[in-house]
Structure 1
Amino acid sequence: MTAVPPLGPEQRAKAWAELADDDFEVLVIGAGVTGAGVALDAATRGLRTALVEARDFASGTSSRSSKLFHGGLRYLEQFDFGLVREALHERDLSVNRIAPHLVKPVPFLYPLTHHWERPYVAAGLTLYDGLARTGALAEPMPAQKHLTRTGARRLFPALRPESLVGAIRYYDAQADDARHTLTVARTAAAYGATVLNSAEVVSFTHAGGRVVGARVRDVETGQEVDVRSEVVVNATGVWTDDVQTLVGGRGRFHVRASKGVHIVVPRDRVNGETGLILRTEKSVLFVIPWGSHWIIGTTDTDWALDKAHPAASKADIDYILDRVNEVLSVPLTHEDITGVYAGLRPLLSGESETTSQLSREHAVARPMPGVVSVAGGKYTTYRPMAADAVDAVAVDVTRPVPPSVTENIPLVGAEGYAAMVNSLARLAQRWGIPAFRAEHLLNRFGSLTPDVLALAEDRPELLEPVPGAEEYLMVEMVWAAAHEAALHLDDLLARRTRISIETAHRGVDSAEPVARAVADVLGWDEQRIGNEVASYTARVEAERRSQTELGDQEADAARVAAPDTRAVAVGRALG
């Protein structure tokens, strides 16, 4: 890989010039994990590639998942063995080769409520482990372990004794989805892709019955440019149908949005050392360790309201609390909740009437010459989805396209990560920070950590914790503005970090000091600082209001009342 280019204000200006002046072979719309993956796959096949996103990287579904890299244990019951095998391969590929700094193994307990369940669940987990070991890349994750009720409660004392007769422990993996998606996009840029957020496609260019490009608007300035491209890839998730309407003609498939809500609670509210997977009458519920917190979710309900800002209602939150409290000896309450977030799964419609049964397989289609659409799938399988999309691109590109190589392309920060972990104490000593902070940085930036810390060489105050969010350092905020394309406070507090869901104030107490720290990088004056803080505060207040409303309609109305930092037009967003 060549040097990793910074995604900062100077690069942004350069990227806009490239959009206007260059001829691209692939223009990818939508920078969730699928779109970022398509850009990386295309760039590493030698194709001149551009990636544009109307809002921010991962601002839609890809920052609001369960944060798991997993095979999808429940899909075994649907006999979707191919999907599970593919997802497990991708899980282990990321843990061992592509992104070991970002994707980490995590143990889970599967509590058993009846003795007859043990052979049934054991058979499923044996198949799960077996599928993972098929063509394993490295030492496989630990196999399942059977536990008595006492053994299970030793690992997870918070479980009510009467809620289980025993348990089985197994392993999966997790990652910060927003950081992972951003890293995929940055890796695409490192291989030559032109990458831009706040860049909205407003129309498409047609010639001779095919699409030959698009008009792209800078959401920050209103400037518009015409982008020439041999193929356009629609990777916009739940906005797939909106973009297809903008293109014209009929799509080959439709995407249906399913809302998934998660709550975040402090780690000390639940006494446990592993994650939990709990069966519910509708699907499954995860209790997932997340640093100094737990993530608990999810729901699975139809959503036909605002796609850019799906709202969690009180009914959603009550459902999660009711389900998890069935097994906890000390019940959780609304007062225990630090953060709440809602995301939309892009499910291929037509297979079933209920979203929980819709296929998690992905689909790729060429609805018209010069357009490829990719949708569906799971976060974990973003890489094969992207490879399939670029295979379809090859039909419309005027020169031969080699096969995908992303299975052997480490993401930015992966190369040299293991050696840096072995030198963690030296890194901490060099910068005068505790070892736990050095480890925190390594698990976010990998081998780029020394570059991040170098910003504090002449500004030692940047090594201070973020006010109100002491898990993060101020240097991470400045790095995000200078190198990771953060343009607004919510980019910094909701996606470059997860302060918006990890603190009781949801980032409000951190907003002004963070805005002042990045003001020089982003050229913000006092008025802009005030506007950013006010806008972020209004967002948080709207989210809090929405979470007190009982139903979806009322929650949506409360959430969309907040002003939007990015005024996008098409389907409210293409994020």
Structure 2
Amino acid sequence: MTAVRPLGPDQRAQAWADLAAGEFEVLVVGGGVTGAGVALDAATRGLRTAMVEARDFASGTSSRSSKLFHGGLRYLEQFDFGLVREALHERDLSVNRIAPHLVKPVPFLYPLTHHIWERPYVTAGLALYDGLARLGALSEPMPGQKHLTRSGARRMFPALKPDALVGAVRYYDAQADDARHTLTVALTAAAYGATVLNSAEVVAFTHAGGRVVGARVRNVETGEEVDVRSEVVVNATGVWTDDIQNLVGGRGRFHVRASKGVHIVVPRDRINGEVGLILRTEKSVLFVIPWGSHWIVGTTDTDWTLDKAHPAASRADIDYILEHVNQVLATPLTHDDITGVYAGLRPLLSGDSEMTSQLSREHAVARPMPGLVAVAGGKYTTYRPMAADAVDAVADDVSRTVPPSVTENIPLVGAEGYAAMVNSLDGLSQRWGIPHFRAEHLLNRFGSLTPEVLALAADAPELLQPVPGAEEYLMVEMVWGAAHEGALHLDDLLARRTRISIETPHRGVDSAEPVARAVAGVLGWDAERIANEVDSYRARVEAERRSQEAADDLEADAARVAAPDTRAVAVGRALH
């Protein structure tokens, strides 16, 4: 089993020293799933690798997706069979080999609304979907489609209106906590020797002889700057791709447009159902996704040209989701039912179409100038082949032969030994005196690292208590996030290491102070810093609530960016 390298304060100090002193072959800019994937791919090919992220790991698109690992059923209608096949292969890899602790199968209903023609049409599409998934499957594939009458569908999903469907087809896809998955990819890259840093902003690029030979990186927490030497720099910044290209100078080979996707989160008891739903809309699809003790409902698909760091959901976005989901629910959802709301930006390769839902979900890799590789587009599910293609392009610029990608066979941290630990769940529960459901919750977040997480409570049993205001999580998870997972701020812990910010009606406000006090010793916070972190988090939540009452994007953006940013990052903030 690969030795896990913690990302705590001591390791952060060492990483800064390594950045300044080392000569890297690959410097990855961007700590979303694509950047983390590139860092892992490069490190496992034996390349000296560093990855820097200006904010927090997964703080952009990679924490704000629909949280699905899926082939993209709707892309079959666009005849994009290659993309669907690739994504289904990646789904299979993650569920069965790379990340079984994080990526789990989930059943969905596809309601049918037309007699005669629709069932054979959907049957053919899902048969193709299941068939593509079976090509080269690692193990027994997920269950195939199952046809249901209207009454059969309503037994699985009693919340559906009787007149909302004439029947349904059940099929399977998979889901994961995107932020935790991205973090785990980054932790795995570190385990294989990559230098990994968040709050590390690239502020300039170094050129020599017409090529990029490194970058100047600023410590967002202290203001310190270091020059990092690297044979190749990879721009893996998603919706910030064009901003970084402008910083480099010269023209890029492609452009990226941002499409805003908004989701709402509601308690599980607000919708009576056992499976997910996929619903057709006039623009795209709407998912109703089981999410622990909640449902995630979304998404929208609209152009976004405002602040990229904190895209804002407006009341119009939320009304759109409620209107469409309520068309099929016997008991309508209201604004009062909503626990959380989040908005993310899809990085779409710019094309001729003005409709963001029609822009390509394919990815692209380019070498705009010697020493610089850019990768963008794609789907979350296909992060691994995106990363492999980017490192293949890196090979043109490094001074030695680069072997092929091996990440198809590299389990993420926590995957090795996971199956055995599932079988000994009762023993884990008894040893630590925690209920079975809590042990299972931890196992599905940390995998085989779970005993190490719990070991933090060996001399501090109070850490086995639930987080105040967010009882699904334990305090030990917060301390682990600060000591081992690179969390530097309260919102790192409440919005990404956990999902308290969208899973509680108070959106984490009631948990903020107890969590800040629990991690203060690890992060070196005094009373003043604790108060500042709590105040900043409360301001963030208040700004998000105001934005979600705003009529349109302009008003929502103005309300959201009024809150102080815990990280003073220059690139990508819209000018107002």
- With the length of structure 2 as denominator, give the TM-score of the two structures: 0.99
Amino acid at match of 1:522: L
Q: Is 1:273 aligned to residue 251 of structure 2?
A: no
Amino acid at match of 1:55: R
CA drift of 1:241 comes to: 0.1
What are the superposed Cα offsets for residues 156-175 of structure 1, whole Å, 9 maximum, x if unpaired?
Answer: 00000000000000000000
1:235 corresponds to: 236
Return the alpha-carbon distance in structure 1 between the equivalents of residues 194 and 471 of structure 2.
35
2:401 corresponds to: 400
What are the superposed Cα offsets for residues 251-294 of structure 1, whole Å, 9 maximum, x if unpaired?
Answer: 00000000000000000000000000000000000000000000
* SS in structure 1 at match of 2:15: helix
Amino acid at match of 2:35: G
1:264 corresponds to: 265
1:211 corresponds to: 212
* SS in structure 1 at match of 2:565: coil
Contact 1:266 1:336 in 2 (8 A): yes
1:536 corresponds to: 537
2:130 corresponds to: 129
Seq. identity, %: 88
Amino acid at match of 1:177: D
Contact 2:150 2:165 in 1 (8 A): yes
Aligned 1:31-430 pairs, distance under 5 A: 31-115=31-115, 116-430=117-431
What are the superposed Cα offsets for residues 49-81 of structure 1, whole Å, 9 maximum, x if unpaired?
Answer: 000000000000000000000000000000000
* SS in structure 2 at match of 1:320: helix
Amino acid at match of 2:528: Q
Contact 2:219 2:225 in 1 (8 A): yes
1:474 corresponds to: 475
Amino acid at match of 2:202: V
Return the alpha-carbon distance in structure 1 between the equivalents of residues 118 and 417 of structure 2.
44
Contact 1:231 1:396 in 2 (8 A): yes
What are the superposed Cα offsets for residues 154-198 of structure 1, whole Å, 9 maximum, x if unpaired?
Answer: 000000000000000000000000000000000000000000000
Contact 2:207 2:214 in 1 (8 A): yes
* SS in structure 2 at match of 1:572: coil
Return the alpha-carbon distance in structure 1 between the equivalents of residues 126 and 223 of structure 2.
53
Contact 2:351 2:360 in 1 (8 A): no
Return the alpha-carbon distance in structure 1 between the equivalents of residues 452 and 114 of structure 2.
53
What are the superposed Cα offsets for residues 429-474 of structure 1, whole Å, 9 maximum, x if unpaired?
Answer: 0000000000000000000000000000000000000000000000
Contact 2:65 2:344 in 1 (8 A): yes
Contact 2:259 2:303 in 1 (8 A): yes
Return the alpha-carbon distance in structure 1 between the equivalents of residues 503 and 106 of structure 2.
19
Contact 1:233 1:373 in 2 (8 A): yes
Contact 1:351 1:359 in 2 (8 A): no
Return the alpha-carbon distance in structure 2 between the equivalents of residues 117 and 32 of structure 1.
39
Contact 2:199 2:220 in 1 (8 A): yes
Q: Is 1:9 aligned to residue 9 of structure 2?
A: yes
CA drift of 1:536 comes to: 0.1
Return the alpha-carbon distance in structure 1 between the equivalents of residues 246 and 70 of structure 2.
33
* SS in structure 1 at match of 2:10: helix
Return the alpha-carbon distance in structure 1 between the equivalents of residues 571 and 550 of structure 2.
27
Runs of 4+ with deviation above 6 angstroms? none
Return the alpha-carbon distance in structure 2 between the equivalents of residues 569 and 211 of structure 1.
21
* SS in structure 2 at match of 1:570: coil
Contact 2:264 2:296 in 1 (8 A): yes
In angstroms, what is the RMSD of aligned CA positions?
0.6
* SS in structure 1 at match of 2:572: helix
Amino acid at match of 1:68: L
Return the alpha-carbon distance in structure 1 between the equivalents of residues 331 and 570 of structure 2.
46
CA drift of 1:572 comes to: 2.7
Return the alpha-carbon distance in structure 2 between the equivalents of residues 435 and 343 of structure 1.
34
CA drift of 1:2 comes to: 3.3
Amino acid at match of 1:317: I
CA drift of 1:3 comes to: 1.1
Return the alpha-carbon distance in structure 2 between the equivalents of residues 313 and 190 of structure 1.
40
Return the alpha-carbon distance in structure 1 between the equivalents of residues 456 and 55 of structure 2.
27
Aligned 1:387-536 pairs, distance under 5 A: 387-536=388-537
Return the alpha-carbon distance in structure 2 between the equivalents of residues 103 and 378 of structure 1.
15
- Count of residue correspondences: 573
Return the alpha-carbon distance in structure 1 between the equivalents of residues 385 and 353 of structure 2.
24
What are the superposed Cα offsets for residues 81-129 of structure 1, whole Å, 9 maximum, x if unpaired?
Answer: 0000000000010000000000000000000001221000010000000
Contact 2:307 2:557 in 1 (8 A): yes
Amino acid at match of 2:531: G
Contact 2:24 2:230 in 1 (8 A): yes
CA drift of 1:570 comes to: 1.5
What are the superposed Cα offsets for residues 215-257 of structure 1, whole Å, 9 maximum, x if unpaired?
Answer: 0000000000000000000000000000000000000000000
Amino acid at match of 2:53: E
* SS in structure 2 at match of 1:372: strand
* SS in structure 2 at match of 1:571: coil
* SS in structure 2 at match of 1:375: strand
1:19 corresponds to: 19
Return the alpha-carbon distance in structure 1 between the equivalents of residues 354 and 531 of structure 2.
47
Contact 2:41 2:405 in 1 (8 A): yes
**Which runs of 5 or more structure 1 residues have no equivalent in the other structure?**
none
* SS in structure 2 at match of 1:214: strand
What are the superposed Cα offsets for residues 2-39 of structure 1, whole Å, 9 maximum, x if unpaired?
Answer: 31011000000000000000000000000000000000
Name the stretch that deviates more: 369-378 or 110-119: 110-119
CA drift of 1:351 comes to: 4.1
What are the superposed Cα offsets for residues 493-514 of structure 1, whole Å, 9 maximum, x if unpaired?
Answer: 0000000000000000000000
**Which runs of 5 or more structure 2 residues have no equivalent in the other structure?**
none
Return the alpha-carbon distance in structure 2 between the equivalents of residues 50 and 282 of structure 1.
40
Amino acid at match of 1:49: T
- With the length of structure 1 as denominator, give the TM-score of the two structures: 0.99
